Amino acid sequence: MGVGVNARTAFSLLFPPILDEFGWERGVTAGAFSFGFLVTAVASPVLGRLMDRRGPRVVIELGVGLVAGGLLLASGIREPWHLYATLGVLVGGGSVCLSYTGQSLYLPNWFVRRRGLAMSLAFSGVGVGSVVLLPWLQTLIERAGWRAACRWLGAVVLVVLAPLNLLLRRRPEDLGLAPDGDRAPGGPAAGVRTTNVVDAARVAADWTLGRALGTARFWWIAVSYLSGLYAWYAVQVHQTRYLVDRIGREWVWTVGNLGFALCSLALILLRHAPTPRLVELMVVAQGLLGYGLVAVIGAIPADVFQGAHYGAIFGSLMLAAIVGGAAGPWATGAMYDATGGYALAFGVAMGSSALSAGTIWLAAPRTVRAVAGRAATER
């Protein structure tokens, strides 16, 4: 996660020097990031089905090859379409296999009692990677140029991730284990796994993609993910250049969106009062609050729709998320080009955060499974 996710978000570091070298419009340049999301939007449901059938080793190694190849080829960019094909399609599209989507397709199978905590710990690698990988990459850009930085990052993806991901398995049952570390389905903790169930009929249902599409919950989650990732990437791609288990899934998602809304507000205010305090607010809001979204982006649909067809269902939900992530950078760049500033664009991102927070409460995963802290309290 630390390498795979940050290989994609490194676009925010490459964005300024690419603009400086070529002088392309911001909307056109940021559009490469968005175009990669659109490619993954088409591929995401297929990715879920492939995960259900072949497991994470095939899916994630495919992503390693695409991301590494895209970064290595990006060093030869000369035209906008080169940018779209390499950092857009190959890196952006391939990284969906390595990042939150790919990992969320199989990690929920391994944990039930502390699913949110387990996924939070796994996804914390993104933060560790950003602290280690991104400063190193920025130093490379300053000393050797963005083209050399792309080559080095591509080599890191290939050398580190290709052998590491061969160890992955889709389900603990493939190794003769059960979720949460039990040795067998009837192990000592087996009875505890059902204590977080609120709606037994929904949990016991055989959730196919078609059946999930017929529920209001599926669409509320889809709208929430679309608007949440719009706000996330509207801020993330442009900010460089411009300057869960205890409380429930809904609260974590709401607090995460509050973080991105505060970050957008700070960026608007910086134009009128450029003080270090606003920068500190932006860092805290995005780092400590906004990235709380990643802790539950896989846990929410797993609570509601887990089953044999979960990969296809989650992949379809991520189609909505990817559309939002694609629209955010492109629309923000286009609004900047049209207005000469970011006030309107970041205001739209704040509204998108509010929409995302509201719709996740309507999806109500708490009414299907209680989180570990709530379940323990009720016992």
Radius of gyration of the chain (CA): 20
Cα gap 98→81, rounded to integer Å: 24
Residue 292 CB-half CA count within 13 A: 22
The alpha carbon of residue 79 and the mean position of all alpha carbons in its chain are separated, in whole angstroms, by 28
* Token duo for residue 74: 């990006």
Alpha helix segments (H runs only) across 75-169: 80-83, 93-98, 100-104, 115-144, 146-156, 162-164
Domains and CATH numbers, the chain: 4-175+182-378 (1.20.1250.20)
10-residue mean pLDDT profile of the chain (379 residues): values are 81 85 83 77 76 83 92 92 91 82 78 72 72 84 92 94 85 81 54 60 81 90 84 59 52 64 76 74 61 66 79 79 79 86 85 87 83 51
State the pTM of this model: 0.61
